Amino acid sequence: MPMQAFQGLERRFRRIGGRIRSKDEFRFIHSWVGNPLSIGAVAPSSKMLARAMASHVDPHADGPVIELGPGTGPMTQAMVAHGVDPARLVLVEFDPVFCDLLRKRFPAANVVQGDAYSLRKTLDGVLTEPATAVMSGLPLMTKPLRTRVRLLHDAFRLMRPGAPFVQFTYAVVPPVPSTRGGISADRCEKVWMNVPPARVWVYRKGVAAKRHS
């Protein structure tokens, strides 16, 4: 995207009261303008949302933790702060600029540049044991339902039985209906301190769902 056009977008954000507060927000907006359906957001997830999602990952479990669409790494950092060993992290990111940034910020993590919606192909030969969790920052609602369902099933094939697939959404409905293919969907916390506010959902294969307020 030409810098002049990006500066014009930034001025529009400022006029409506928005502020670009960090280099990460600058990177996110720039990437979003270039490919909005791939990025799915105009700013990184808030610390509150990142912490809420990380809380569903067991920091003491063995095995890899896969993160889909980590972007600039706010949820990655939240997992590390939660106690997850960075060496357990497998970060699947499509944007090469974000990949370079993630490698600098989390040198112990395994950063894989590739398409998360072709997860089994992207991670072919990467995992040496089943994953204990999948964290997703992907914009699932921009994809057809069949694509979302396929992604979940591909993820569950790479995970231990009962392991969580943690996803957030800005929508009022779950990204994937819980009745699809034996997948349960736990409606968890609503994070108001995020732009826009987001809901956390936890999916599991073959485990009954629990409802949270």
Supply the pTM of this predicted model: 0.78
For position 45, what pLDDT does the model report?
Answer: 63
Domain positions in the chain are: 3-39, 47-205
Tokens of 116: 């998360």
Cβ neighbour number for residue 36 with a 10 Å cutoff: 13
- CATH superfamily, domain 47-205, is Vaccinia Virus protein VP39 (3.40.50.150)
Nearby residues of 135 by Cβ (< 8 Å), 6 or more positions away = 53, 54, 57, 65, 66, 67, 68, 75, 79, 166
pLDDT given at position 68:
97
Residues of the chain falling short of pLDDT 50: 1-3, 5-10, 12-21, 28-30, 32-34, 36-43, 213
CA 53, 185, 149 angle in degrees (round to 5)? 100
Amino acid 210: pLDDT: 58
* Number of neighbours of residue 128 by Cβ within 10 angstroms: 7
pLDDT digits (tens, 9 = 90+) for 37-48: 444 444 456 889
